[in-house]
């Protein structure tokens, strides 16, 4: 158990390092968070609108709009600019806390994968590496890419890098470490034992 937790910790740390490089030093997500010299006037205008905190998609229709009104809006908006806004009343910069939560989430995610891998009867580097790489592919397709289909995010390839590079690195670690741990395990193989029993 302790060795599995250790595997999850190191795997989560590797994911965190890749994410840190992607969002920080390499700045691959910059296309989705660009600077504009008009930011002050835009923020002041939005503040004057007294919007409730939340996400806004424009153009859009009210929640109680009919399907006909929705179709008319889509027709009128075709080929014109549109915008998605995440509006918050206060900027709370909690870098340390957010980084700790991100690391904890990564460790938990890798721990769940370790739980699955721990049930495999034939631990092999290649199988564990591919399982981790497929996990990264699932993570990418299920969230960033599905979101991109509808809202055309500007940092799609950065998310692809995060998923494949991070989980491939994690897969190398798990493929090297976990098989050795499982082979040293003293847990009895009840299936093998039952097959050797003579039941009259």
> Going residue by residue through the chain (200 aa), what tens digit of pLDDT does each one get?
888 999 999 999 999 999 999 999 999 999 999 999 999 999 999 999 999 999 999 999 999 999 999 999 999 999 999 999 999 999 988 889 999 999 999 999 999 999 999 988 888 999 999 999 999 999 999 999 999 999 999 999 999 999 999 999 999 999 999 887 666 654 444 344 334 334 33
In 32-124, alpha helices (H): 39-48, 67-77, 95-117
H or E element that contains 172 = helix 156-183
119: CB partners within 8 A, 6+ apart: none
Q: Is 172:118 a contact under the CB 8 Å cutoff?
A: no
Partners of 56 in the beta sheet? 85
Q: Residue ranges per domain, the chain? A: 2-37+93-186
């Amino acid at each position: 158990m302790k060795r599995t937790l250790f595997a999850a910790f190191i795997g989560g740390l590797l994911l965190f390092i890749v994410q840190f490089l992607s969002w920080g030093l390499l700045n691959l997500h910059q296309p989705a968070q660009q600077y504009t010299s008009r930011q002050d006037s835009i923020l002041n205008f939005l503040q004057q609108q007294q919007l409730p905190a939340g996400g806004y998609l424009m153009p859009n229709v009210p929640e109680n709009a009919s399907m006909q009104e929705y179709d008319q809006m889509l027709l009128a908006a075709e080929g014109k600019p549109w915008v998605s806004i995440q509006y918050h009343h206060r900027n709370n910069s909690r870098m340390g806390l957010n980084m700790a939560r991100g690391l904890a989430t990564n460790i938990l995610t890798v721990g769940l994968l370790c739980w699955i891998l721990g049930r495999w009867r034939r631990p092999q580097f290649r199988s564990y590496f591919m399982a981790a790489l497929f996990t990264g592919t699932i993570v990418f397709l299920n969230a960033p890419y599905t979101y991109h289909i509808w809202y055309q995010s500007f940092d799609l390839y950065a998310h692809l890098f995060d998923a494949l590079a991070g989980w491939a690195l994690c897969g190398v670690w798990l493929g090297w470490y976990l098989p050795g741990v499982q082979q040293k395990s003293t847990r009895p193989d009840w299936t093998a034992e039952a097959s050797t029993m003579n039941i009259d």
